[in-house]
Homo-oligomer: A and B are copies of this chain.
Amino acid sequence: MINIGLLGLGVVGTGVVEILEERQREISLLVGEEINIKKVLVKNVNKKRDVSLKQNTIVSNFEEILNDDEITIVIEVTSDIDKSYEYIKAALNKGKSVVTANKALVSKYFEELSSLADEKGVSFLYEASVGGGIPIIKPLKEEIILNEITDVQGILNGTCNYILTRMFNEGLDYSEVLTNAQELGYAEMNPAADVEGDDTLRKLRILGSLSLQGKVGEEDIILEGINKITSFDVRQIKLMQSTVKLIGEVMELDDGYNALVLPTIVKNNSYFASVNMAYNAVIFKGDNIGELKFYGSGAGKLPTGDAVLRDVLDIALGYNRKANPLGDKTLKNNNSEFKSKFYLRISDSTEKIVKSLEDISEKVLSTKENIAILTREIELKKIMDTISSLGIEKDEYFIARILD
């Protein structure tokens, strides 16, 4: 019997327990023994839970899992960063393998925890931390052996994609859809980490670092969220037979790389435009494999639980592919040279601003109430410098990259 210590019994934890129970027969047949949730760490042991666990499984003290030598795999599915980091470090140091779905934690600590796992000869796996149920971390780890990966990009946040899809399909306002999404549980009560792009940025850092085989830090990524998009923008962009997605991308450029999370305008008949509601998608390019695209549920109890269990099965089967797949290349960030065509809207239409944008415009879409332009191919930095020199505040403009 393989014994698991589970940290957290929220949405994902419940999914893990449910799938394990439902698929016990198939799993035992594959692994050759049963996989058993031996202990579950929760904050509130008295809370009634809608999940079937054996008696005396719930514990409130991590030491009970750490010091249980029969527990060889720890699954961490909390949303806490600091305490989980301590728990995971302690577990790895004790020679236990760790599987986590905690993207903020992975983004913050994955180099350190990957080396520690390597040193201890155990696994630290985090398939569920990017793209929910989509198999993406494992295929990427496989392809980096056989390819130079030159580009990775994705729709990585289900909440943003849900909001954008409904704004474009139903012509609703941003705040209207957000409120509705919060009621339906698709968005948190404090949605900042999603709509301002931080969650996408963290996942992109994980994908980018694996792809380029060197550290792409959170601070190395240009960031604009979707929270400033208005119905005016939606109408303008619809006229371009296009839609908007929040896309994160890390790409090789010259002797370095660009890394960015930006609202991105894509044609209605493009691949990314076919990714709607809470779904996620990831594309990467290798010099041998060419372009690979992956699509699936970006979150949710069962898809994420499924991804966690794929990692658990790999550990149970002894498929401990090189614990630390991270390279040690030193990368040069070329973000200041990042060039594209952009859509820019400024909530103002004074003559002075219209004039100041002439130099970067290729096409003026509107000068009434809002100024909206399509820029020529130009460095993003130049646009941001222009915006800042005009004294335009952060909430008075919306910018989106145009992807051909």
Contacts of A256 in B (CB 8 A): none
Contacts of A269 in B (CB 8 A): 268-269, 273-274
> A272 → chain B, closest Cβ, in Å?
9
Is B313 within 8 A of A295, CB to CB? no
Is B305 within 8 A of A288, CB to CB? yes
Q: Which residue from chain B places its CB closest to the CB of A287 in the assembled complex?
A: B302
Contacts of A26 in B (CB 8 A): 144-146
Is A30 within 8 A of B145, CB to CB? yes
**Cβ-based interface call for A381 (8 A):** no
Counting every copy of the chain, the complex holds 2
Contacts of A171 in B (CB 8 A): none
Is A306 within 8 A of B291, CB to CB? no
Is A303 within 8 A of B321, CB to CB? no
Q: Which residue from chain B places its CB closest to the CB of A20 in the assembled complex?
A: B146
Is B318 within 8 A of A289, CB to CB? no
Q: Which residue from chain B places its CB closest to the CB of A141 in the assembled complex?
A: B30
Q: Which residue from chain B places its CB closest to the CB of A241 in the assembled complex?
A: B269
**Cβ-based interface call for A188 (8 A):** no
Q: Digitize A272-301: 1 where CB-to-B-CB distance is under 8 Å, 0 elsewhere.
A: 011000000000001111111111110010
Cα distance A190–B147 when bound, in Å?
34
Contact with A146, one of B286, B287, B310 (Cβ below 8 angstroms): B310
**Cβ-based interface call for A8 (8 A):** no
Is A296 within 8 A of B302, CB to CB? no
Contacts of A319 in B (CB 8 A): 317, 319, 321
Is A288 within 8 A of B274, CB to CB? no
> A304 → chain B, closest Cβ, in Å?
10
Contacts of A296 in B (CB 8 A): 289-293
- A306-B139 in contact given A133-B290, A273-B269 (Cβ < 8 Å): no
Contact with A322, one of B30, B134, B292, B322 (Cβ below 8 angstroms): B30
Q: How many residues of A contact B (CB 8 A)?
A: 49
**Cβ-based interface call for A271 (8 A):** yes
> A327 → chain B, closest Cβ, in Å?
10
Contacts of A29 in B (CB 8 A): 322
- Taking CB atoms and an 8 Å cut-off, the chain A residues in 114-153 that contact chain B are 133-135, 139, 142-147
Q: Which residue from chain B places its CB closest to the CB of A322 in the assembled complex?
A: B30
> A123 → chain B, closest Cβ, in Å?
13
**Cβ-based interface call for A329 (8 A):** no
Contact with A289, one of B143, B147, B290, B306 (Cβ below 8 angstroms): B306
**Cβ-based interface call for A270 (8 A):** yes
**Cβ-based interface call for A354 (8 A):** no
Cα distance A273–B274 when bound, in Å?
9
**Cβ-based interface call for A309 (8 A):** yes
Is A297 within 8 A of B306, CB to CB? no
Contacts of A317 in B (CB 8 A): 319, 321
Cα distance A6–B184 when bound, in Å?
56
15 further interface pairs, Cβ-Cβ under 8 Å (given A26-B145, A146-B310, A293-B296): A29-B322, A30-B321, A135-B135, A139-B139, A142-B310, A271-B271, A271-B274, A273-B274, A289-B296, A290-B297, A291-B295, A291-B297, A292-B296, A293-B294, A317-B321
Can you pick out 19 interface pairs between chain A and chain B where the beta carbons lie within 8 Å of each other? A23-B145, A23-B147, A30-B321, A135-B292, A145-B313, A146-B309, A269-B269, A270-B274, A287-B302, A288-B302, A289-B296, A289-B306, A290-B303, A291-B296, A292-B296, A293-B294, A294-B294, A294-B295, A318-B318
8 tightest A-B CB contacts, nearest first: A293-B295, A288-B302, A271-B274, A290-B297, A292-B296, A319-B319, A289-B306, A288-B306
